[in-house]
Amino acid sequence: MHFDIAFIGFGTVGRGMAELLLEKKSILEKLYNITWRVVAISDLRYGSIINDNGIDLKEALSLVESNKDFKFLNGKRGLSSIEVIKESNSNLIVEVTWTNLIDGEPGYSHVKTALNLGKNVITTNKGPIALYYKELKELANRKNAQLRYKGTVMSGTPSFNIFEGPLAGCNVESIRGILNGTTNFILTEMEKGLDYEQALKEAQRLGYAEADPTMDVEGLDATAKLVILINTIFDMDIKLSDIRRKGITSIRINDIKEALNMGKRIKLIAKAEKIDNKILAEVSPQYIPISDPLANIMGVMNAITFKTDCLGDVTIVGPGAGKRATGYALISDMIAISNKLSKD
Amino acid sequence: MHFDIAFIGFGTVGRGMAELLLEKKSILEKLYNITWRVVAISDLRYGSIINDNGIDLKEALSLVESNKDFKFLNGKRGLSSIEVIKESNSNLIVEVTWTNLIDGEPGYSHVKTALNLGKNVITTNKGPIALYYKELKELANRKNAQLRYKGTVMSGTPSFNIFEGPLAGCNVESIRGILNGTTNFILTEMEKGLDYEQALKEAQRLGYAEADPTMDVEGLDATAKLVILINTIFDMDIKLSDIRRKGITSIRINDIKEALNMGKRIKLIAKAEKIDNKILAEVSPQYIPISDPLANIMGVMNAITFKTDCLGDVTIVGPGAGKRATGYALISDMIAISNKLSKD
């Protein structure tokens, strides 16, 4: 299948995908029969550009590397992201603007606009998916467009998408995961002897935590991911507020030491269980026995354990963030769309 | 797609699949558009039966449960497995006879006969795949038949098949796995204080180890699985004898204690690395740092770490054996074949 791609957002994640598109160009064509062209890029910082004959992606990347805007590229300039989605001759919108868990904007409007036009959307933006999954999924179905969002949970590491292929036909009975690398890093550093404030500073110094770390340390980020997992896997329509949530800000070094003395580790666990068609879900710090695979996930790594009817517990461990790992999530979504559409 | 199934072998694994076929009948139809009928069963112990109008699978299972043979079923009886493959009106051969790593028989002849007739084959039998992968794959391609063998490595737990969907487009740089549950169980018991002989006896008592444990404890089983992984993932044609192999029979409790004192565990690791189009591979006991996800795989669990170019290390942990888990591997192969053939 051929993709005419419009990037809405061209920050770290968008550029991560762009670099992989270039690097994997021949593999995509040879193994998956995928060809692509970038026909538009829109970014708050670098401006917007449309060129239906194709934008030189290498050039665009090198402009951004040297902090220059897109006025050096040929094409139509100055349009808003919404206009770019509408006016570009694109069949794949890559929505990679920032996450907003209050109203999902601007991602929500981007995704809705694209789907309304029957354009396929891939995104790593948790906002629109955590807040409006059901609505957007139905819109996509109605408009015969594909909507994929692998990168919203554990970046490119397999998570809910494993049930499309390798675990097809299995029922999920429960989900337990370490879905936020920042808090797991802080807890890991605290085990080494830093107190909470020091560990948070270290996370900020390394770029794992934002200046305002609320989203991570209060468990909001993990909660958004859990909502996405639940709605996707159980085909539900639950909301952020349906999930009991407790962050890690009140954890002290002593708690961590005490846990270790009992053969346990404190981890921020996102979990959900389906009982009689009801979902019991929460995000909170939990004492996990050292023998549990999740107890041994250290630093910024993510992990998830699916309890399934066919296999019991299956655990997947991998990166949950990073330019390349999240860029790859979008590549995997693109391949999945191509497989799906070449099939129908 | 509709499958007319012939079971060649109806031991634990075949029955595991049969039970899941019955249990998942409506899901298979609703979600994957798969219908099926069992048209033949052949088993050394219970005899063989062909009925192109369909065999009552529940009835067949209950006969076997009560140790009765298939003469109580309607149909043509007394044919050999090869004849059953040829004469049944089947389009899916489920080859689940015993593993033989010397010449692959009788599985090798079963698989070859089926593919030569253009019949799809799914199998959990390591013999034919570890010994004749390239030949059988080429035969399948030539005859336009599907050959799938998920259950040969880690039963139904995702292993090499993860690169078809969730990790499509990623290159594998190295593989490291705990692929044999029996030896991992023995090492786990030795950590609790049993010596090698006691731990082996315990494994035999629980049905994890055979009366002759050579295949497991000498690392042959893990080596066969590693060969299958390497040939599948790297599209190679390596042989069992290409892999340096050392089992666990010389490990003593003291070795395990010493390792723990160094913050490590001894694990039987199957590993392969691709360097300049050459494969470096071995199966041997290794000292693994406790911080490594593989170090914390205890008992009969299996695990594998793929180092990939897109994501770095991704680890999958799950069961590597068991009636239901291995039966599910065959279900997942069946779904994959249906997806593939509905697509072409």
B121: domain CATH number is 3.40.50.720
Compute the mean pLDDT over every residue in chain B, rounded to the nearest whole number: 96
Of all helices (H) and strands (E), which one includes residue B6? strand B2-8
CA of B324, closest CA in chain A: separation in Å? 6
Do A215 and A336 reside in the same domain of the chain?
A: no
pLDDT higher than threshold 80 for residue A344: no
Would you call B335 and A298 a contact, using CB atoms and an 8 Å cutoff? no
Phi first, then psi: give them for residue A336, nearest 5 degrees. Answer: -65, -40
Do A48 and A137 reside in the same domain of the chain?
A: yes
Give the Cα separation of A141 and A69 in Å (integer): 36
Helix (H, G, I), strand (E, B) or coil at A211: coil
Q: List the structure tokens of A219.
A: 């468990």
Interface test with A, best of B297, B310, B314 (most A CBs within 10 A): B310
Q: CA–CA distance from B95 to each of A157, A184, B17, B126, B281 (Å)?
A: 32, 45, 11, 11, 28
Predicted confidence (pLDDT) per residue in B21-30, tens digit: 999 999 999 9
What's the full length of chain A, in residues? 344
pLDDT higher than threshold 80 for residue B203: yes
Predicted confidence (pLDDT) per residue in B301-323, tens digit: 999 999 999 999 999 999 999 99
Of all helices (H) and strands (E), which one includes residue B285? strand B278-289
> Which residues from B are below 8 Å from A315, CB to CB?
315-318
Q: List the structure tokens of A330.
A: 């979008």
CA of A1, closest CA in chain B: separation in Å? 13
Do A263 and A117 reside in the same domain of the chain?
A: no
Do A125 and A246 reside in the same domain of the chain?
A: no
Query: Quick one: B254 exposed, middle or buried, by C-beta within 10 A (0-12, 13-18, 19+)?
Result: exposed
Helix (H, G, I), strand (E, B) or coil at A169: coil
Interface test with A, best of B153, B314, B330 (most A CBs within 10 A): B314
Q: What is the pLDDT of residue A342?
A: 86
A10 marked ligand binding residue: yes
Q: Is B225 a catalytic residue?
A: yes
- Decide if the complex's ipTM is over 0.90: yes
Q: CA–CA distance from B318 to each of A21, A237, B42, B179 (Å)?
A: 32, 29, 30, 10
Do B150 and B258 reside in the same domain of the chain?
A: no
pLDDT level of residue B69 (50, 70, 90 thresholds)? confident
pLDDT higher than threshold 90 for residue B291: no
Predicted confidence (pLDDT) per residue in A42-96, tens digit: 999 999 999 999 999 999 999 999 998 888 889 999 999 999 999 999 999 999 9
> Which residues from A are below 8 Å from B20, CB to CB?
310
For chain A, the first-to-last Cα distance in angstroms comes to: 12
Query: Quick one: B275 exposed, middle or buried, by C-beta within 10 A (0-12, 13-18, 19+)?
Result: exposed
Give the Cα separation of A187 and A253 in Å (integer): 9
Query: Quick one: A2 exposed, middle or buried, by C-beta within 10 A (0-12, 13-18, 19+)?
Result: exposed
Do B69 and B172 reside in the same domain of the chain?
A: no
> Which residues from A are below 8 Å from B328, CB to CB?
169-170, 310-311
pLDDT higher than threshold 80 for residue A160: yes
Chain mean position to CA B262 = 34
Do A179 and A293 reside in the same domain of the chain?
A: yes
Q: What percent of chain A has pLDDT over 90?
A: 95
Do A150 and A51 reside in the same domain of the chain?
A: yes
Query: Scanning the structure block, which residue is given the tokens 């050292």?
Result: A290
In chain A the beta strands, taken as DSSP E runs, fall at 2-8, 35-43, 47-50, 76-77, 92-95, 120-123, 147-148, 172-178, 244-245, 264-275, 278-289, 302-308, 312-318
Q: What is the mean pLDDT of residues B14-34?
A: 98
DSSP letter string over B78-136?
Answer: ---HHHHHHHS--SEEEE-----TTT-TTHHHHHHHHHHTT-EEEE--HHHHHHHHHHH
> A320 and A157 in contact (C-beta within 8 Å)?
yes
Do A195 and A84 reside in the same domain of the chain?
A: no
Q: Are strands A120-123 and A92-95 parallel, antiparallel or unpaired?
A: parallel
Predicted confidence (pLDDT) per residue in B105-142, tens digit: 999 999 999 999 999 999 999 999 999 999 999 999 99
Q: What is the pLDDT of residue B343?
A: 65
Q: Which of A119, A150, A225, A264 is catalytic?
A: A225
CA of A298, closest CA in chain B: separation in Å? 8
Do A189 and A62 reside in the same domain of the chain?
A: no
Q: Of B14, B6, B43, whose CA–CA distance to B124 is shortest?
A: B14
Q: Of B216, B218, B217, B190, whose CA–CA distance to B202 is shortest?
A: B190
DSSP class of residue A75? S
Would you call B317 and A293 a contact, using CB atoms and an 8 Å cutoff? yes
Interface test with B, best of A164, A191, A314 (most B CBs within 10 A): A314
Q: Are strands B278-289 and B264-275 parallel, antiparallel or unpaired?
A: antiparallel
Q: Give the structural domain span for A240.
A: 161-318
> A68 and A49 in contact (C-beta within 8 Å)?
no
Q: What is the pLDDT of residue A277?
A: 85
Do B120 and B145 reside in the same domain of the chain?
A: yes
DSSP class of residue B211? S
pLDDT level of residue A343 (50, 70, 90 thresholds)? low
Predicted confidence (pLDDT) per residue in A211-238, tens digit: 899 999 999 999 999 999 999 999 999 9
Give the Cα separation of B56 and A171 in Å (integer): 26
> A231 and A252 in contact (C-beta within 8 Å)?
no
Q: What percent of chain B has pLDDT over 70?
A: 99
Q: CA–CA distance from A49 to each of A70, A84, A112, B146, B209 (Å)?
A: 7, 8, 21, 46, 65
Would you call B158 and A168 a contact, using CB atoms and an 8 Å cutoff? no
Would you call B166 and A161 a contact, using CB atoms and an 8 Å cutoff? yes
Please give the angle made by the CA atoms of B188, B190 and B196, to the nearest 5 degrees: 125
Q: What is the pLDDT of residue B344?
A: 56
Longest Cα–Cα distance of chain B, Å, equals 64
DSSP letter string over A118-136?
Answer: T-EEEE--HHHHHHHHHHH
Number of domains comprising chain A: 2
Query: Quick one: B273 exposed, middle or buried, by C-beta within 10 A (0-12, 13-18, 19+)?
Result: middle
Q: What is the mean pLDDT of residues A296-321?
A: 97
Give the Cα separation of B15 and B64 in Å (integer): 9
Q: pTM of the prediction?
A: 0.96
* Identity at A183, one-letter amino acid code: T
Of all helices (H) and strands (E), which one includes residue A321? none
Helix (H, G, I), strand (E, B) or coil at B339: helix
Sheet holding A147-148, edge to edge: A76-77, A47-50, A35-43, A2-8, A92-95, A120-123, A147-148
Q: What is the mean pLDDT of residues A303-313?
A: 98
Would you call B315 and A312 a contact, using CB atoms and an 8 Å cutoff? no
Q: What percent of chain B has pLDDT over 90?
A: 95
Which range is least confidently modeled, A106-120, B44-58, B63-77? B63-77
Domain with B253 in it: what CATH number?
3.30.360.10
Would you call B316 and A313 a contact, using CB atoms and an 8 Å cutoff? no
> Which residues from B are below 8 Å from A336, CB to CB?
165, 168
> A93 and A69 in contact (C-beta within 8 Å)?
no
Do B105 and B189 reside in the same domain of the chain?
A: no
Q: List the structure tokens of A233.
A: 């896997």
> Which residues from B are below 8 Å from A172, CB to CB?
none
